[in-house]
Structure 1
């Protein structure tokens, strides 16, 4: 029978997971991902096992297993690249109406964790679990900071020792595992598995054959550890029918999948991880699972995220060329990083550097400016406002039809891009082109309040841009909120507002006339008073009125008098709010 400790879930982690799962942006996407604008088209994803784009079936829940972290240290942005990229794929699938059950494996038993616990004078299973829980919590904090949807279930090695032991015993019973004569390690027998080994990187398997260690107790250099014996009670280990020990790395994920998805292939349908896990980790998973289940199709679809590189090298802790997620977030936002990921295919390797972050920041600024301009139309009521109050000219001109056609075409192009292997770079370009078309169109619009024929169209476009970005995990809430202003209460049909502005401007004009009169008197006291009065008139023009969304322009009339004109510009309100925040700092 099994015995051992350290597998309990601490209350702090439980609380964190509850907060993570119920995080507003996550629950909004998980619970409300399928809305009126969702596509029902079929998504084609590249299967990294065969290099072919394959349709994901509808009408059933897609089971999805993703390899999680080995929790012995803080995560870096190389990890974030993989998790954000796969999160974007998941969100696109949810948005397109797919039902998904995703499980993440958590490696909380590993040589690196044990080494870390020894460096802190922590012994046994309990010592390893102290390290594992610390960095597991840090990992979930990072994932929440990066706005990554939580998995539906999490599996830990320490909580699945019986299932792992059973998996190994079943492999031995079928002749696919043996005990080493020197160390008593249980090895997977790749020779018994046969020529099927090496589906991901067959050339690499052949090259490694020349480096075989003749002194090894392994029957074949490709054989890998399923169970490692542990004699010392000061080191993490569990008593079992296999002897006291702990699992090897690769066996855990196969055991997790068997436990969570059953034995009827495909189990799971989707399996994902970083591209660096293809060999040997995923190769070995395939071998041990397909050997046990007697199948050639344990997983239907393999999904691998591209790596983040620096000067051509993979970002990794071993190379010491990494930036932790928390350090990254002191200089940049998680939104900037997600936009950076959206600008590249989820499966592509991407070079990391400040220039790339500056590119992403420029895209982010263009989106912010869009919502600053059209933020008021984020409220759906303007669809009704524009059509219910039949005031003003409602007729569409050629330019209105052109913008509407650009909007409709953008929807089709983005849907097509996303259905073709979640091509977010193409989708982003189409979205930016739509924003450009809107900006060009608005150059000729002087007062949006008086052109109600535009309200439904602008509302649809604003909502589409917001819905697209948030559907990919880009939080737009602060952009939208900062730009919100009720354009109907300040509209041409609310004469009290216009009249109040005209009265205020008339008072300002009288103050200005009085100031100039005193200034011409050239008296000492009158000059000081004149400057004070002119300062007040400038403050009204430059601070007070812009805070109400009113832009004033002064010009000299033909008779030398000062003439003013004013227009309503909602984005001035957000601009004034930004300046006020900056001043307060």
Structure 2
């Protein structure tokens, strides 16, 4: 609330009570959710695994609210509509066309200029008028998007449905009523059908199981994404529908304390005017003044934010002030309901978190987290109603708000066609790359998710991968030789400097994390340590102290795993890998045979070459084949070194194959460019030779020039007079002579080319 950095002091020593706003489960989670929950997981891991705090981490699932009710109803009604329309028919086309027209009139009004808004004109004529406009670059289109950022999305939905309607009409004319045609029409018209069906039949959806099963599906989908992203599950998970009796009791006390009021329709609203500035502390020592909108006081009169906070189904309310918000909503037809003293209804959005957090954590907590978009009105409303209920001065000691995520500089939006689900992202990037990308940004700042950000994350991942691979190879090599001491301790100046750098890095790393979890700085410290260690390793096998390298590798790996970038045991080198479930018996044959087969094949080839007295070049090619072809799929990399002894490294086979394929692709691209250049030169030469076929003696005579251009020529074919018999000017004669010389050389070149048999 101070908007500054303060020393973090939990109420109970090293025990932290933390409540985290969980998702509203009505659709697939997107990359913004990933940034929010992965970032909070990183902070949680730092507090527990690095600073040694104990955390009671509570997260809620909003499994009933306006968005869920609407989407569950719409999905249910669309599924019913599909089951009733398994074949294409004129009636189905007519219904979809009606939904299309309703969507057009409702959705495009806001974005269209007054002169373009549809009146009584035919919907199709109006649509064709829009379709003929330049939808991307025209000033008209830009104006529409400026008036309504969702205009492009609505236009795309209309276009998709309109095209499908045209195809369906043609199919009917051709007597094609197949289920495939019906599905094509319905699939292309989902967006326009959702609202049309809900407006017509939404009030008939009465089965509570429809809403429960819908929310349960998306809750499972959310936690599946979180597990893939390696997000630690909450210690306690709460769901709104499981706490309705407690919510009713909570609201009753707020009314009794004088900070809420019921309305005639059976709803209950929080009275922000009564609360703001009221004296608190009636039940405790000392008094204070309550304040509404502590987090964002400048937003408490923002009508857009206030309306968004109430939900799409909250219309025609009778609240006393625009800033008042619903604690309990009277349920209308087509909405789930629970009994209450004010009639059948359901919880408001904000009250759920106050009740569940209070039930688990009491009247005060250390940390409350969520995205910055929840600051107002959600978190400010939580604060107000909780402090009104508990009659306390401060319900939450520290709010952690993760920053917005934008895509390539733009706010993520389906209307802008830059909406990325977590599953979409995971089809392109690994969970580790995404986490590295988030770690590279300050947790509280706005993040711009760009391809360049992912490229940077991949570069960081590769840097650590290569370091761990070399370190493990050196350690394995050192231990396999069991060499006796060479009489030197190998702790010279280079080793002392590297150990000092490790200690300095460890201190800087801690300072960075103490400074509001500055993970970008912490990562850069690790990368610099790795870079300097690589410089040390580059000295070569002789003189390198492997134990120093091992100590740095173990600490670096431990810190990366602390960030949630891998799994593995304490002290393990690298990211760590998770074993397959139930894998307790090592199958030596399955593990060893691919490697033994590669070596056996190599031995066979060497023997055959020795028998045939093969050349050194052929034997070296065979060695390269073992390195580049046979061992790569097995995850073995051989680094040739100056001392003639290759460094053996075990690497993820996918990485080796990808690197090899990239090199081959680059080589192929280079060869293709070279071939294209050669072909271009050949074509150019042929064109030049073709031009050289003409003898210079004939170049200024018809038909090679227009009849009448020149009147007379010398013995070499150079023109002397023009078509009228006038002597050519000196400049003209000079120009013709120059062209004649050029053609003479070209003709001689052509003659040589022909003579050579081409």
> What TM-score does the superposition give when structure 2 sets the normalisation length?
0.58
Distance 1:372 1:510 in 2: 34
* Distance verdict in 2 for CA 1:424–1:540, change over 3 Å: closer
Counterparts of residues 548-563 of structure 1 (less than 5 Å): none
- Correspondences of 1:173-212 after superposition (within 5 Å): 173-181=256-264, 183-195=265-277, 196-206=291-301, 208=303
The answer for the alignment partner of 1:110 in structure 2 is 65
Residue matched to 1:466:
557
Match of 1:424 in 2: 519
For residue 52 of structure 1, report the CA deviation from its aligned partner. Answer: 3.1
Tell me, yes or no, if the aligned pair for 2:554 and 2:574 is still in contact at 8 Å: no
Q: Please, which of 22, 26, 45 is the counterpart of residue 68 of structure 1?
A: 22
Hey, what does 2:613 align to over in structure 1?
A: 515
Contact kept, 8 Å, 1:386 with 1:456, in 2: the verdict is no
| Structure 2 residue runs without a partner (length 5+) | 78-204, 278-290, 308-315, 578-598, 662-758
Change in Cα spacing, 1:230 to 1:398, as seen in structure 2 (3 Å) is same
Shift of the alpha carbon at 1:205?
Answer: 2.0
Q: Hey, what does 1:55 align to over in structure 2?
A: 8
Question: What SS does the aligned partner of 2:72 have?
Answer: helix
The answer for the alignment partner of 2:528 in structure 1 is 433
Displacement after TM superposition at 1:274 (Å): 0.3
In structure 1, distance between residues paired with 2:653 and 2:5:
53
- Report the alpha carbon displacement of residue 118 of structure 1 after superposing the two structures with TM: 1.1
**After the TM superposition, which residues 137-148 of structure 1 pair with which residues of structure 2 at under 5 Å, given as runs?**
137-148=220-231
CA distance in 2, matches of 1:426, 1:577: 30
- Shift in Å at residue 513 of structure 1? 10
1:241 matched to 2:341: yes
Structure 1 equivalent of residue 255 of structure 2: 172
What's 1:444 paired with?
Answer: 539
**2:211 is matched with which residue?**
128
Please say if residues 377 and 462 of structure 1, whose CA atoms lie closer than 8 Å, have aligned partners that are also in contact: no
> Aligned-pair distance for 1:71?
0.3
Q: Would you say the 8 A contact 2:640–2:647 is kept in 1? A: no
Who is 1:455 aligned against? 546
Shift of residue 174 of structure 1? 1.0
Deviation at 1:385, TM superposition (A): 9.8
Give the match for residue 405 of structure 1. Answer: 500
Q: Does the 8 Å contact 2:254/2:389 carry over to 1?
A: yes
Contact 1:238 1:245 in 2 (8 A): yes
Distance in 2 (CA, whole Å) between partners of 1:333 and 1:271 is: 29
C-alpha distance in structure 2 between counterparts of 1:307 and 1:282, whole Å: 16
Which residue in the other structure is 2:199 paired with? none
Show the counterpart of 2:238: 155
Partner of 2:331: 230
Alignment correspondent of 1:101 = 56
Using the TM superposition, name which of 136-145 and 117-126 deviates more: 117-126
Structure 1 length-normalised TM: 0.74
Q: Which one of the candidate residues 252, 270, 278 is aligned to 2:352?
A: 252
The 1:578/1:362 distance shift into structure 2, 3 A limit, reads: closer
- The residue that corresponds to 1:15 in the other structure is none
Larger deviation, residues 120-129 vs 184-193: 120-129
* Residues 1:117 and 1:440: Cα distance change in structure 2 (over 3 Å): same
Alpha carbons 2:267, 2:342 under 8 Å: kept: no
Q: Determine which of 304, 312, 319 is the counterpart of 1:218.
A: 319
Corresponding residue to 1:574 among 643, 651, 661: 651
Relative to structure 1, the CA distance from residue 261 to residue 317 in structure 2 (aligned partners, 3 Å threshold; closer, same or farther) is farther
Question: Does residue 324 of the first structure (1) align with residue 421 of the second (2)?
Answer: yes
| 1:537 Cα deviation after fit | 5.9
1:170 to 1:439, Cα distance in 2 relative to 1, 3 A: same
Q: Name the counterpart of 2:387.
A: 290
Please report how far the alpha carbon of residue 56 of structure 1 lies from its aligned counterpart in structure 2 after TM superposition: 3.1
- State the SS of the aligned residue for 2:399: strand
**CA drift at 1:393:** 2.7
Offset of 1:476 from its aligned partner?
6.3
Contact 1:164 1:252 in 2 (8 A): yes
Structure 1 gap ranges (5+): 1-47, 483-500, 520-529, 555-564
Indicate the SS of the match to 1:259: helix
- Which of 452, 464, 475 is matched with 1:355 structurally? 452
TM-superposed CA distance for 1:53, in Å, is 2.3
Contact preservation (8 Å) 1:345, 1:424: yes
Shift of 1:315: 2.5
How many Å separate the matches in 2 of 1:354 and 1:533? 44
State the Cα RMSD in Å: 3.7
Measure the CA separation in 1 of the matches of 2:410 and 2:472: 42
Task: Give the match for residue 374 of structure 2.
Answer: 277
Alignment partners' CA distance in 2, 1:375 and 1:468:
17
- The 3-state SS of whatever aligns with 2:545 is helix
TM-superposed CA distance for 1:219, in Å, is 1.4
User: Partner residue of 1:488?
Assistant: none
Out of 85, 104, 107, the position equivalent to 2:39 is 85
- SS of the residue corresponding to residue 644 of structure 2 reads strand
Q: Which residue of 2 aligns with 1:262?
A: 362
**Is the contact made by 1:88 and 1:472 (CA closer than 8 Å) also made in structure 2?**
yes
Provide, for residues 24-49 of structure 1, a one-character-per-residue CA deviation record: whole Å limited to 9, x for no partner: xxxxxxxxxxxxxxxxxxxxxxxx55
Partner Cα distance (2:641, 2:609) in 1: 16
- Tell me, in whole angstroms, the C-alpha distance in 2 between the residues paired with 1:544 and 1:209: 63
Q: CA deviation at 1:206?
A: 4.5
Q: Distance in 1 between matches of 2:253 and 2:234?
A: 29
Tell whether the 8 Å contact from 2:34 to 2:422 is kept in structure 1 after alignment: yes
Shift of 1:116: 1.4
Of stretches 196-205 and 462-471 in structure 1, the one that deviates more from structure 2 is 196-205
Higher RCO (CA 8 Å, separation ≥ 6 residues): 1
- Judged with a 3 Å threshold, the aligned counterparts in structure 2 of structure 1 residues 537 and 460 are, in CA distance, closer, same or farther, namely closer
Partner of 2:488: helix, strand, or coil?
coil
Give the stretch that moved more between structures: 50-59 or 134-143.
50-59
User: Which one of 339, 346, 359 corresponds to residue 436 of structure 2?
Assistant: 339
In structure 2, the partner of 1:31 is: none
Tell me the matched-pair count: 482
Q: Closer, same or farther in 2 for the Cα pair 1:411/1:201, shift >3 Å?
A: same
Q: Tell me the CA shift for residue 545 of structure 1.
A: 9.2
CA contact (8 A) 2:26 2:214 kept: yes
Does structure 1 residue 364 correspond to structure 2 residue 461?
yes
CA gap of 1:549–1:271, structure 2 versus 1, over 3 A, is closer
SS of the residue aligned with 1:302? strand
Q: Tell me if structure 2 keeps the 8 A contact 1:512–1:537.
A: no
